[in-house]
Structure 1
Amino acid sequence: MTQRLLALWCPDWPAVAAASVAGIPAHRPVAVLAANRVVACTATARAAGVRRGLRRREAQARCPEIFLAREDRDRDARLFEPIVTAVEATVPGVEVLRPGLLVLAARGAARYFGSEELAAERLVDAVAAAGAEAAAGIADALSTAVLAARRGAVVAPGGGAEFLAPLPIAELAAEPGADAKYRADLVDLLHRLGLRRIGDFAALTPAEIASRFGADAVAAHRCARAVAERTVSARRPPPEFTVVYRCDPPIDRVDAAAFAGRMLATRLHAALAAAGTACTRLVVSAETEAGEELSRVWRCAEPLTAAGTADRVRWQLDGWLTHRSRPTGPITVLRLEPSEVVPAGALQLGLWGGSGETEGQARRALIRVQGLLGGEAVQFGVLSGGRGPGERVTMVALGDERVPAADPALPWPGRLPEPAPGVVLVDQPAVLLEAADGAAVEVTERGVFSTAPARLRWGSREWALAGWAGPWPVDERWWAPGSATVRARAQIRLDGEPADARVLLLAYRDGGWRAEGVYD
């Protein structure tokens, strides 16, 4: 029998939580900002034209009376705990996907209340009694249930694909566990390819998706076909993966609990990594000095990292210790139990090749380098707008807001087509492009080579050419004569041994050639 899932979704939860903390009345527009952009807003703010992705100034210009708050996941999780408690008091076995969204098995609730529809109504009423609005959705697959909750729908067994087919392709961005940035890029690409509905995307074969797109597109395609996210390899882990911390002295403060939770997360993921597994469903448990036992299940569409586990433990402990029905005594025992694991191959490790703790160690080391050499000594590249490869990289010091110098979403006519060079040469050294007779190759007024290129000289070295493409003239800033430039770009393939056989990107300006980048 197919397992039916019931999802409960509290709309705009980050904005609702921010308004609750600040004491903002329900009729006033509220938006939550991260990196100076709107990441969540209330219905009243949307009615005034505020949308996700807008910059602060644009949101304020569209809605001057809007209340702006910073993103705070700890706040969101802490205020969501009473909602989870109210739902769990009605139906046990609640699993939290993220603050504002939870899921549970629909079969038991439907049998108890008489039907799936009645179960959904009772749970929505329980959330309302806890002081929040919610919508419920029921379906066979987790992602389908979440999308159904956004419409308050109960999808018939086996009817997930039919339900999803007419929905806009942008709805795939709401799939739980999806990376927001990559999923937004994928949705934009599919829309530009002419796929306007989820059914259009689902009509493609898995082989077509896997051969042309990345892993996130494969996951989105499974969602579009209403295929269950969980693989058959998910299994109950052995008890030795459970990690326990006996608190001495007992913990009654959130900061102390968060420290213990981070230590437990590191121990848990070390044990999982040694066994070649990763956790997808985590049980966070606590015992108090008075003998009270607390437990909560966190479920994730993607395997948890050590940092993700530590965040969920901190959120849960914060919710328990600050809730009005807080435990009767301090916490004496903390326990993390992975109730479902998958092969570790499903876990994408970070840049430094390790867990979130390794990432933290690397960041602390970089901060120390900053302290020794200055704030600008450690910089990160941020994708920016521009036509050339160098213009599309904005270097930002570690700790500063990662804001590009120009908006990469603008059209930028004349931009160098993909793929971009693997190495961008900042100093752009001068090179000589010559014909077979030694004559210098230039770009004429018609935008073509003055003669066919045959050799390239770079300093004291010389290469024969195995091929070339271009030139492509670029007329930049023609509307501002003082800063206008006329240049051209060409791709040159060098001839030689594998170590020397590479492709260069050259830029022609002021009557000479310069090397802009090297392709891998």
Structure 2
Amino acid sequence: MSRQTATRTMLVWCPDWPIIAAEIVEGVPARAPVAVLHANRVVASSIAARAEGVRRGLRKRDAQARCPELIVLDQDLGRDARAFEPVVAAVEEIAAGVAILRAGVCAFAARGPARYFGGEEAAAERIVEQIAVECSVEAQIGVAEGTFGALLAARAGRHVPPGRTGEFLAGLPIGHLDRPALTGLLERLGVRTLGGFADLDPSDVMARFGLDGALAQRLAAGRDDRPLAVRRPPPDLAVAERFEDPIERVDVAAFAARSLAEQLAERLAGHGIACTRLAITAITTDGRELHRTWRHEGVLTAVGIADRTRWQLDGWLARRGPTSPSATGGIVALRLSPEGILAQAALQPGLWGEAGDERDRAHRAMHRVQGLLGPTGVLRGVLGGGNDPGARVTLVPWGEEYLPALPDGPWPDRLPSPSPARIMPEPQPVAVLDTDGEPVTVSPRLALSAMPAAVVLAGSAHTIAEWAGPWPTDEHWWDRGRARALLRAQALLDDGRLLLLVVHRGAWLLVADYD
């Protein structure tokens, strides 16, 4: 195995970054007990939360049991990345070739800053000071051979002298490799430190653990010679305009919106990228800043940008009150900034295909209708989570980010696939009869009074070929005003129709079918 020396690397680590990002973007107090969750488990916690015993990997309910006043946030990688961008920009003022490893962590070669500032420690102190002054964010810097050693050095607040990275890593637990399957097996074999893993024969490691194990051994030995994926600083894509005469009327605002939208669309096209999230900022005559972000599913064309800008200006100018723009003299400056961008080639195909005349014609038609009727003139259904099939569909404006009202996830009382094809606008009363023509009832213990034999729909009886259920479900049990208990059942009729029935307060209702 090659003994190539890894590059001396400086790594910036911002502790508890998901918590800090939530404070920067959403104003959540980072000093309070806060936890960020993904898939119902804690992935990050604040210092105050950790003092109460909240740790990574805990379930939400367990974390709240340890800390009842815990503020719970959903993981938002976009939020973390947006908040980290100013930190990276501050580092780039001092160091070149910065690579973002993840939100809250970036790295770069130590040679340049060390030569300029008279040593690695002096350069590290200067960068920490730069981040604190520019971003008011606490950061730690580690210096070692390779990004792996530099990351662990940053967490320990260490500057590892040249050539001593292997010695620094040797005594650290094997779990730092962040490969649970590999490290779990190594611990069962008695290898509990990085140094112990590094001392194994490389050919034996390759034979037993494969290529990934061999690469992990190189990390454990301090021979991380992977090149940094240096990021390209994003171009300044924002467009702005100041107005000699403040904007007070919607028609004037529409003209200004169209002009700026065309400029932004040309700038995006010139870089071969598309806008998925548009930030609109307006300055009023009294110096107040109004800000609103519009999300989009895919490509925001010049028309789409202009429409959303016009809708937003219309909303601001139509606002009533002593602090509204129309009451304070109007809007004197407007800025459009694409906060979310991606390469045109990375866009997912839409309903009418990835490209072509049909797709373009459909998009123009949708934007045209929206331009006439407003942002809610064209709606699209998005399938989300929940137990009630009728509540799983959320209608969102065309072009906006298609996020359901309820996230998809483990819903224990959800009906098995497939979902019903048609939901009744209003539940239809029906009668379920047994073989003697008597109504079928359900006891408190979910026992049927008799086996269902027929369903009466609109006065006509239909024979039941197969029956499944009933299954109990408690909806919105946490909200007394919306809580209701239901029993669900499925009935396959002899004509091939499959019905979804519920029992609510003793009455049978048809709520959906699988036509």
- TM-score grouping bracket, smaller chain normalisation: 0.3 to 0.5
* TM-score, normalised by the number of residues in structure 2: 0.46
* TM-score, normalised by the number of residues in structure 1: 0.46
Larger gyration radius, structure 1 or structure 2? 2
Higher relative contact order at CA 8 Å, sep ≥6: structure 1 or structure 2? 1
